[in-house]
Structure 1
Amino acid sequence: MNKIIAITGCMLVVLFSSCKRSLDVVPPSSGTTKIFYLNQEDFLQGVAAVYNGLRAYPDRLMNLSETRSDNLYAASVLGTQPYDAINSFRRNAVSNVYVEAAWNDDYNAIFRANYFLEQLELKGNIISSEVLRNRLGAEVRFLRAFYYFDLVRYFGKVPLVVKTVLPGEAVTIPRTPVAEVYAQIIEDLKYAMEVLPASYTGADVGRATRYAAGSLLAMVYMARSGATYSIEGPGLASNEWTEALRLINEVINSKVYTFNTNYASIFSYANQNPNVNKEAVFDVMHVSGLNPVLGASFVSLTVPDSYFTTVLQKPAQLGGAGRPTSFDLYRTYDTAVDVRAKTNFLLYYTALGIPGNRPYLRKYMDSTKVPVNIRDWGINFMAIRYTDVLMLKAECILQGAAGGTQEEVDSIVNLVRTRAKIAPVSGVTLEQLYQERRRELVGEGSRWFDLQRSGTLVTTMNNWIKTDDDLKQIEPVVKEFVLYPVPQSQLDVRPGLYTQNQGY
């Protein structure tokens, strides 16, 4: 599956001619349309091209969720870095490369999805069976929902486009209210849940399943149920915790997934096949050593280059000076016994020559598996992990979802704590659950979105700044910073079409 994704992605760059600086998308010419999607294999490659949009997702979580949150103290000490504006809540992030990439990458994938669905409607009868035809359409609708959910959580209102459009039309489409974008996301995911299989075999392993769609839909309901902050963001205070709990229970009761009792093995390079790693509800899959490169680049974004060059005697990676872990996070671990501390962090070492003594996030890094190409690490990224799903169940119950009990909450949290080799607790509160999620899921991109939902983002971040901002670089956090700015390049396409998010 991975080979098809990358090869098809390269092919469709030409077909779509996606403009990197705007929403303008030049659809295929009539000649190209006739050449492409001539047989079933073309449709299989077309789906793979939509999956290809996931390759940037782990990096985006590291750059925009982990770096923005109180998990990392990514204050640059070696000149200005792209992550400075993200970590420090600077209002000039409107032109930040990571913010631009988030908007552009998601929309490029969405346009591929829209074009595929249109071609499926026109020419889908050339596919060998109705079951396969419907499944391919459901996979693409799952992915379109995935990309739109990503956009909503970062930007709030975004243009809702569910068909291919000409450049002239693209620059007339305004930002759509969040509730309407959610309605499309929910429609796509409900369809995917009805059509997608529970699992796959052979080369199809790793594709979206019914339970991946159900898990994502639960996350959507939870995001909608979150705090509004009186802005047009992802939280609508919709109180859909019961709906989310029902979906999560379906995933749990399916028995397709298993809680791994060994924390380190979840992220082991020997445990990457989704058929083996039963913690993986939905993976972004990577394979190293291929040409074109199909490996991962997110692995070393937080680790200083000097660790690779001086300690491992390997080429520099992508981390620069590194993005240290916050003291506030690290001190919440009982480092004498909590196995997650050893798995998740690289302790400070003097060879760095960098002021301070903060550890670095190294959750996905195996020092024996350093690739020749720095963007070619051979590890998958669990976009949806079973432990996360279990802990989301606990959150729904604590938020008042019907049908859950405190005993279930305590049982879930203590399952996680027992695996970490730390003492069980009772009467778990919502705040305690969020702290356990923070320790368990650091580096997996959940923290910023947890803070969004909780309603405590502004208070939590400002309290953290007081204790962790040694270099005094971080701006005070206001409610408008729950969202990122609309990229300046989008505002410039047609002045007046979009209104910038407040605070920027």
Structure 2
Amino acid sequence: MKRSYKLLIACNLLAVCLLGAGCKKDFLDQHPLNQITDATYWQTPDDATMFATRMYTFLPQASFVYYEGMSDNGYTASDATTQRFGNSTQDATISDREWNYNSIRQAFTFFANVDKVPDLDSTLKHRLIAEVKFVLAYRYFIMTTLYGDVPLVNKLLTDPNEADLPVTPKAQIIPQVIQWLQEAAPDLPTQYSGADLGRVTRGAALALESRIYLYNGQYANAATAAQAVMALQLYHLYPNYFDFFQKDGDYSPEDILSFGYTLGNGTQNSLRDILGSQDLMNGRNILNPTAELVNDYESKNGYYPYTRDPAYKATDPFNNRDPRLRQTILCPGDIYAYPQFPTTTQYDPFNDPGDRMGGDLGTHTGFSWCKGVDRYDYVRSGSNNWKSFRYAEVLLNYAEAVNEQTGPTPTAIAVIDSIRLRAHMPTVTATFALNGWTMDQSTFRTFLRHERRIELAGEGLRYFDILRWKTGEQVLQGQIFTVDASAGIAAISTANGHRNTFPKTPVETRFFNNPKFYVWPIPQSAIDASKGILVQNPLWK
């Protein structure tokens, strides 16, 4: 974990120097960057490295998981902004979560000053420039994905009047984003070691390129970029799905890029608080899985829906399911134990004071998350990395992109087989045969979307898939419910007056009933700070 310590120390030190310039959020974060001057900062190679390292804080961290609550995978009543995006009651007063021009300004500050650094090795300089270009590309990718058309800044703005810009069409921004990534990739190492573990690699640049192309419907390019990651022959799936999201999987061959945490440096990922059961994990149940997500997992034999499996029992609905279900989600009756505590504990949202539905820190849906919650440290919030890009997503990107071009091919099927076999699920062909499905483009598309949801559940990406697939009206409209335990959960004892039943109960009504919800409104604070040049997205006027 040396790299994490070093990176976070660098980020914290530089934040003290620089972040005062970015505290006020107004249009394009236009306050000057350098509270320290060029004359006092850009003096050594360490200065350049530290500045580039600071840029990593603009990449996804553990709080990215809140996007699950904006999708049909998750529900929260504790984070108001997430809840409002989830039930489509958002407006321009709360839409500044990703409107971040501070990151853009800092990137161009780096480009404008890095040549001034004396004795900076040429190879290191080009690598640092490539790392910053990666962050720059990611930030514009996120902003265009959520807001659509945004102002394009492609130089360092020193005059506040220059910062008052109109939006640039998204279709014109994406090529620039891709150009930054393609310029960066050749100067990025394929691997790091020691203190540099966790920095951006060539594989990370290609993985981001694949994601951007896929999200923008450029399927041939998405497949090519994904295939380039595969061709590096550096990555493979971690043997154990659950353990990959623990510290075991940090910097493993499936981990293409992740954000590091170290308890020794006091940096915790907060995932226990956000996701974890109160009674079993000392968490706060801020974000809960939905019952609909749980119901979407196949049976272990591949039956879909799982209730078609001859082994299905209404009183034991979470058994005999895709193993990823209980490696992702705590279900009523599940046994969960920490390695340092040999006594096993049952998850019981019907009776346990901490997790009981309706309690102060209890679940709202009857389910809690276990994927990503640090199983090795019960007291603190966790030091396992947040995996921003992983190889399984690249394989899913490749299969989807190929299918959208030509339909299912043997190679596309094979990469999905590798993901399913890692999860101890039947192959694609066996699953299609079992369910009587025809192998064609449409059916394989439906299957891939389902597989992507299950494999990536709890990682924050489902919301973005809904936006790009334009499925919000189908999956984010109407009521969401608690667990349906009307038949009782046989694994939960009814001794001492306990109950093992719970009726299916509405939790929330969602209203994704307007095309405007596929984009976020431009923050009102940004519009107010402009001089009339920046105007609201037409769908939100």
More displaced stretch, 431-440 vs 107-116: 107-116
> What residue number does 1:499 align with?
535
Deviation at 1:251, TM superposition (A): 0.9
Alpha-carbon distance change, 466 to 7 in structure 1, aligned in 2, over 3 angstroms: closer
Alignment of 1:476-495 (within 5 A): 476-494=512-530
Identity %: 25
Is it true that 1:354 corresponds to 2:357 in the alignment? yes
Alpha-carbon distance change, 406 to 358 in structure 1, aligned in 2, over 3 angstroms: farther
Instruction: Return the match for 1:103 from 93, 99, 116.
Output: 99
> What residue number does 2:461 align with?
446
Deviation at 1:459, TM superposition (A): 2.8
Is it true that 1:417 corresponds to 2:420 in the alignment? yes
Is it true that 1:328 corresponds to 2:301 in the alignment? no
Q: Tell me, what secondary structure is at the counterpart of 2:130? A: helix
Is it true that 1:158 corresponds to 2:117 in the alignment? no
CA contact (8 A) 2:322 2:425 kept: yes
Deviation at 1:367, TM superposition (A): 4.3
Q: Which protein is richer in helix relative to its size?
A: 1
Deviation at 1:342, TM superposition (A): 1.3
Alpha-carbon distance change, 324 to 28 in structure 1, aligned in 2, over 3 angstroms: closer
User: Which structure would you say has the larger Rg?
Assistant: 2
CA contact (8 A) 1:193 1:210 kept: yes
Instruction: Return the match for 1:207 from 199, 202, 205.
Output: 199
C-alpha separation in 2, matches of 1:87 and 1:251: 33
What is the number of equivalent residue pairs in this alignment? 458
Alpha-carbon distance change, 357 to 451 in structure 1, aligned in 2, over 3 angstroms: closer
Alpha-carbon distance change, 489 to 259 in structure 1, aligned in 2, over 3 angstroms: same
What is the one-letter code of the residue matched to 2:83?
D
CA contact (8 A) 1:171 1:493 kept: no
C-alpha separation in 1, matches of 2:468 and 2:189: 30
Deviation at 1:465, TM superposition (A): 5.6
What is the one-letter code of the residue matched to 2:521?
P
Alpha-carbon distance change, 184 to 368 in structure 1, aligned in 2, over 3 angstroms: same
C-alpha separation in 1, matches of 2:105 and 2:34: 15
Is it true that 1:261 corresponds to 2:239 in the alignment? yes
C-alpha separation in 2, matches of 1:12 and 1:413: 43
CA contact (8 A) 1:186 1:217 kept: yes
Alpha-carbon distance change, 371 to 108 in structure 1, aligned in 2, over 3 angstroms: farther
1:418-442 per-position Cα deviation (integer Å, ceiling 9, x unaligned): 2222222323610110101101100
Alpha-carbon distance change, 82 to 453 in structure 1, aligned in 2, over 3 angstroms: closer
CA contact (8 A) 1:103 1:487 kept: yes
Deviation at 1:133, TM superposition (A): 1.2
Output the TM-score relative to the length of structure 1: 0.84
CA contact (8 A) 2:204 2:257 kept: yes
Output the TM-score relative to the length of structure 2: 0.78
Deviation at 1:450, TM superposition (A): 1.7
Alpha-carbon distance change, 91 to 41 in structure 1, aligned in 2, over 3 angstroms: closer
Deviation at 1:405, TM superposition (A): 5.1
Deviation at 1:134, TM superposition (A): 0.9
C-alpha separation in 2, matches of 1:115 and 1:48: 14
1:322-347 per-position Cα deviation (integer Å, ceiling 9, x unaligned): 33212221012234242211110122
What is the one-letter code of the residue matched to 1:117?
F
CA contact (8 A) 1:257 1:386 kept: yes
Alpha-carbon distance change, 474 to 30 in structure 1, aligned in 2, over 3 angstroms: closer
Is it true that 1:436 corresponds to 2:451 in the alignment? yes
Instruction: Return the match for 1:15 from 18, 26, 30.
Output: 18
Q: Tell me, what secondary structure is at the counterpart of 1:384? A: strand
> What residue number does 2:112 align with?
118
C-alpha separation in 2, matches of 1:33 and 1:160: 25
> What residue number does 2:89 align with?
90
RMSD over aligned Cα, in angstroms? 2.6
Q: Tell me, what secondary structure is at the counterpart of 2:258? A: strand
Q: Tell me, what secondary structure is at the counterpart of 2:388? A: strand
What is the one-letter code of the residue matched to 2:512?
P
